Amino acid sequence: MIRVLHLIDSLDLGGAQAVLVNLARFRHREKFVLTVAAMHGHGLFTKALEAEGVRVLSLSREKFPPAYLWTLPRLLRQEKFDIVHCHLFGSNWIGKPLAAACGVPVRVNHDHCNDRVRSGWRLALDRLTNRLSSQVIAVSQSTREALVDEVGLSRDLVTFLPNGVDMEHFQPAEASARDAARSELSLDPEVVVVAGLGRLHPQKNWPLFLQIAQEFPAAQFILAGAGPEEATIQAEAPPNVHLIGLQNPQTVLAAADIFLLTSHYEGTPMTLLEAMASGLPSLVSAVDGCAEILGDGVGGVTAEPGNSRDFVAKLSPLLDSSDLRGRVGRAARNKALGYYDARTQARAVEEMYEMLLRK
């Protein structure tokens, strides 16, 4: 059996955490034994991972004081993992050097987002710690190019592997499921519903989401998630925007007619893939992985990042025509089935593991 430690900053709300659950769910259970360690805390995804038969550890009760600086080396020395797979900045900057020092033979870094904060000391840390990577996974081509051009990694070291979604968990909702979801979320069964889903974080540019909603007072906009901007969004939201907190994404997407994502930057956003698998048309910022997925106009529409007029112009036809929503949504589901299945992603990761171990 191949022993894999997935190391992640936290198991709070986020796309990287959803990816991790899918890697656990669709693993080859006769070949791989998985342990997941959060650098600090437990978080929302702990139960989902444990339900897949994965041992979940927390290396520190809080981010500070950093107990993981001594609990992680102890774990690595005691359990002698074959592979450490790092997700997000903290595990890459701190966990991967410790894994190298403790003699873990294969160290994989999963770069989930082409964010814009790689500069100064962050860029220096990325460059330094990525020298310790056996392989780096980039979830979008733009992320891969940033790792090559900005961080200075060789192209051979960086593998492009888009995220995948569980196609059985996320499916187009039948009429009865749609009605039940709307009832649960206290939504009007007859009004067109536009959904936003994700962390309430500056990256997602929720002020633009609110601005767009103001232009369509007859539609309902729902925003599901939690994060540091929650109070600000609540204070600034127009009457037709409903903050519904942390909800099951399947329920949110079943209740919705359109998915809206206004981000400043992304990798390959899991929420977009989940919306596509659920048969929803999407309107998203033409950034990074979003542009790569919907740049051809099949399954959704892209708008100029930050341009409210462009978003309003692109959203209006979708709001006006249920036939158009149906056609675009069916194309989205077919595209997700063809290119973004989580089973395919899990197999590709495991083949990478085996190749690296052979080396």
Mean pLDDT over each residue of the chain, to the nearest integer: 96
Per-domain residue ranges of the chain: 2-164+342-358, 175-339
Contact 261, 282 (CB under 8 A): yes
* pLDDT at position 115 over 90: no
The SS3 assignment for 136 reads: strand
Percent over 90 (pLDDT), the chain: 93
Contact 270, 198 (CB under 8 A): no
Architecture of the domain made up of 175-339: 3-Layer(aba) Sandwich (3.40)
Question: pTM value?
Answer: 0.95
CATH of domain 2-164+342-358: 3.40.50.2000
Angle at 323 between CA 321 and CA 328, to 5 degrees: 100
Q: Compute the average pLDDT of residues 11-39.
A: 97
* pLDDT at position 121 over 90: no
**Would you list the DSSP string of 301-349?**
EEE-TT-HHHHHHHHHHHHH-HHHHHHHHHHHHHHHHHH-BHHHHHHHH
Per CATH, 2-164+342-358 and 175-339 having the same topology is answered yes
CA-to-CA separations, 127 to 47, 149, 151, 212, 353, in angstroms, rounded = 34, 11, 5, 39, 22
* pLDDT at position 119 over 70: no
Model pLDDT for residues 233-266, shown as the tens digit of each residue: 999 999 999 999 999 999 999 999 999 999 999 9
Give the pLDDT of residue 134: 98
Give the pLDDT of residue 150: 87
Model pLDDT for residues 148-196, shown as the tens digit of each residue: 998 899 999 999 999 999 999 999 999 999 999 999 999 999 999 999 9
